[in-house]
Structure 1
Amino acid sequence: MNSEKPNIRLIASGKDWIEGAAVDQLKRTAELPGMRLAVGFPDLHPGKGHPVGAAFVSSGTIYPYLIGNDIGCGMGFWQTDLLRRKAKLDRWAGRLSDLENPWEGDVGEWLQRAELPTTHSDHSLGTIGGGNHFAELQAVEKVEDETEFAKLNLSKEKLMLLVHSGSRGLGESILRAYVDQHRDAGVAVESTDAKDYLQKHDEAVRWAKANRSLIAHRFASVLNAACENVVDGSHNSITRHELAGETVWLHRKGAAPAETGPMIIPGSRGTVSYLVLPTGDLPAAAWSLAHGAGRKWTRSESKSRIRDRYRPDELSQTELGSRVICENRDLLYEEAPDAYKKIEVVIKTLVDEGLIRVIASLRPLITYKTRSSR
């Protein structure tokens, strides 16, 4: 096991809102045995013992507890055949429903197409889940890099679909089984327990990707549209990499992958999102990027602060004119745009650090979270 003192890097400017508690968590996590590199991004905020918006590189040991229960959670981005000039937002918002409930189609066929085995969680395949997960119809706001935009075969006239979801109960069960045996401790990568976890982890990552794909299919189908995947990446995962001739293990907890090409960094449902191209010294940034705006307030703080400022109907349509479908009042307040940091500041920091080039910005039109009041 490598005994070198880990390198700790916080990618942030003086304008980024970074809590001291999150920085403390970053430093403490970097002290775990085998840690080589800890990187915090501009969306860094405190988590349950370890920060969100960070990536950690270890040697010889993996730490499943670091990435949490939503293994494979990430962002999928699709181009639809819906034309912006023909958008009917109120009509479409009225038709969208039921994405939090089980799909009535053939889940087995969908799993087979993704080359996945059946699991106890398959009834939730194609469902968004709670918290900060969503499916969002978007329009191209501004193209910053015409060349890269064209390489992705994107059209300014067509509407896009962004889906944020993960492995639902499957990831939860995998982490629970691990914690029952090891609590929050790591395990040697050559151990049977590590190999067993990683095999289940990899299936959960693929399951989460299939879940996002089915959510996109369900969303588009309601609008009588077709959609084609552009990019998809997980921001909660453990992956193998090579660093200076050594095999290392990258733990992402709310950190978007940078080594797979263009990626989406979403805003806060009331702001634009960004399609970006990773650039620069990727290993120095743990092959990762910020995965979004990042929370500014905890969920309980958000409810207490925002209830005094807004009525529910005022949060159902944003300042950009987009519609937010969220009939759970507590969730509506917890996920209000004000609860998040400024995505523009996050993006500028990454640009100034030489880590990304912006391809395009995307304006929210309809954000779906839940029709359920509970």
Structure 2
Amino acid sequence: MDLQQLHQIQPYLWTFPLKSGESRKEVLLYGGRALLESMDDKVLEQITHVASLPGLVGAAMTMPDAHWGYGFPIGGVAAFDAEQGGVISAGGVGFDISCGIRCLRSNLNLQDVEPHLSTLAERLFRVIPAGVGEEGFLKLDTKQLDQVLLGGARWAVQQGYGSEADLEFIEERGCMSGAVPANVSELAKKRQRGEMGTLGSGNHYLEVQVVERIFDTVTAQAFGLQEAQIIISIHCGSRGLGHQIGTEYLVSMAKAAARCGIHLPDRELACAPIKSPEGQQYIGAMNAGINCALANRQILTHLTRETFMEVFPNSELETLFDVSHNTCKLEKHEVEGKSRMLHVHRKGATRAFGAGHASLPERYRALGQPVIVGGSMGTGSYILAGNRDNPAFASASHGAGRALSRHQALARWHGKQVIGELAQQGILIRSRSMRGVAEEAPGAYKDIDLVAETTEQARLARRVAFLKPLACIKG
């Protein structure tokens, strides 16, 4: 991205000045010079288009890990007021609805796990279904799947996959209200019947990690973290169901936009007024997709615990937190000194509530929400904490963010090459797809350390701990 077209407001905040005749709202880009220069110009084009949508409150924003996506850039954040004609866009949520990370802390340390790491990786690889179209042990009929779409992780716990204690540490306490399974097509449900409890492909993974560095001792203690501790991160979403919801509602939203006279600068930004029938139908389906993802990560948590118990009979895996990335949620925010209810789109961005927020578990309320920023195999991950003074509608980076497209990555790396190089670093990779490994090579992503540091410097969230990968299960 050419920074000469931007205006720097603060060291880690930039804006794209309005041109003569433009009627859009403000565009804000969070990040340092190096990260912004590495972004494709398409990021700026896409977020500028978002700024022209009706009912936008404040600015259309990008997080430090932003890159090109469908509709909104990945790392895009925008809030809309339904009372002022605000819209909801499937392209502003993403196809993988509620893609997110479940982070588990263990009572094990590196010394316990390292001698048995290969055995653990092999068993996790056998137990955790991963890959394109891969199905799991659950085969649900339509009635059962409707219960999943209504109950989320709470449904999974009721079926014996985990405990009530898990729900305390999941956004929405594991169940998103307002889900309407009837708004989800039979085709979407058909795609999901065998996919509950599966990772999927692409950038999804289950990773065994070790806490290598603590940045904030007080917050780390509240989060139950210490150096050399073993952590597990599960990154996945709503699988085929979420993708089908996004595909189908983009069509209905395009028709709604035309009917309501909404000018779309890009057809990928198909949207509908929040209060329109199409907008309300999508919200009901999206919330069902969120519950699908929450249930999916809960089942995977259960499978992970069972596998750990086989290798380490005295192991305990507690849910540290579960955060979603691709969502639009109705939240209360202060805007120019007034409290307003806003529909906040986060596309490849995580919610990052600060200290004192009523929705946070009591254990974390005094210090802020755990914010999990995931890497890609060899790049490491971070746990941060939300700031009370977050300027971006309580949003933060969600990962490293791609620096190269999948096509570019395939031209540069081979899967076996990546696996061999990581093995030399002591990082084990288990995957059914060498192509997938090449596409997700660490070098295809931005510098995770720089993303985390910049997220802190931009006051979006503060660093708590760095997690080094030990073993990664990929699709």
Q: CA deviation at 1:250?
A: 0.8
Q: 1:192 aligns to what? A: 277
Q: Distance in 2 between matches of 1:369 and 1:75?
A: 14
CA contact (8 A) 2:23 2:52 kept: no
Shift of 1:112: 4.6
Aligned residue in 1 for 2:349 = 255
Do the aligned residues in 2 keep the contact of 1:316 with 1:326 (CA within 8 Å)? no
Distance 1:318 1:175, change over 3 A: farther
How far the C-alpha of 1:122 sits from its partner, in A, is 3.6
User: Is 1:43 the equivalent of 2:53?
Assistant: no
The AA in structure 2 aligned to 1:296 is A
Q: Distance in 1 between matches of 2:399 and 2:439?
A: 16
Q: Where does 1:14-25 land on structure 2 (aligned, <5 Å)?
A: 14-16=33-35, 17-25=38-46
SS in 2 for 1:97: helix
List 4+ stretches of structure 1 deviating above 6 A. 114-118
Q: 2:324 aligns with which of 234, 253, 274?
A: 234
SS in 1 for 2:240: helix
Once the two structures are overlaid, the 10-residue window that deviates more, 327-336 or 88-97, is 88-97
TM-score, length-scaled by structure 1:
0.89
Tell me, in whole angstroms, the C-alpha distance in 1 between the residues paired with 2:231 and 2:419.
25
Q: Deviations over 1:7-47 (max 9, x none)?
A: 21100111212222211211122112222321111111111
Corresponding position of 2:3: none
Are residues 1:71 and 2:104 paired?
no
> Measured at CA, do residues 268 and 182 of structure 1 come closer, stay the same or move farther in structure 2, by a change above 3 Å?
same
Which protein has the larger Cα radius of gyration, Structure 1 or Structure 2?
2
Q: CA deviation at 1:177?
A: 2.7
Higher helix share: 2
Contact (CA 8 Å) 2:352, 2:394: kept in 1 or not? yes
1:287 maps to 394
Matches within 5 A, 1:289-304: 289-304=396-411
> Structure 1: which 5+ runs fail to align?
none
Alpha-carbon distance between aligned partners in 2 of 1:168 and 1:249, rounded to the nearest angstrom: 24
CA contact (8 A) 2:395 2:460 kept: no
* Contact map agreement 1:135 1:216 (CA 8 A) in 2: no
- Aligned pairs for 1:1-374 (under 5 A) are 5-16=24-35, 17-36=38-57, 37-59=59-81, 60-87=86-113, 88-98=116-126, 99-100=129-130, 101-104=134-137, 110=156, 112-113=158-159, 119-120=189-190, 121-156=192-227, 158-183=229-254, 184-224=269-309, 225-242=315-332, 243=335, 244-259=338-353, 261-282=369-390, 284-307=391-414, 311-315=417-421, 317=423, 319=425, 321-370=426-475
Distance in 1 between residues matched to 2:418 and 2:455, nearest whole Å: 34
Offset at residue 103 of structure 1 (A):
3.2
Shift of 1:63: 1.2
> How many residue pairs end up in the alignment?
365
What runs of 5+ residues in structure 2 fail to find an aligned partner?
Answer: 1-21, 145-154, 160-173, 183-188, 255-268, 310-314, 354-359, 361-368
Residue pair 2:138, 2:194 contacting (<8 A) in 1 also: no
Secondary structure at the aligned position of 2:125 is classed as: coil
SS in 2 for 1:354: coil
RMSD, matched Cα: 2.5
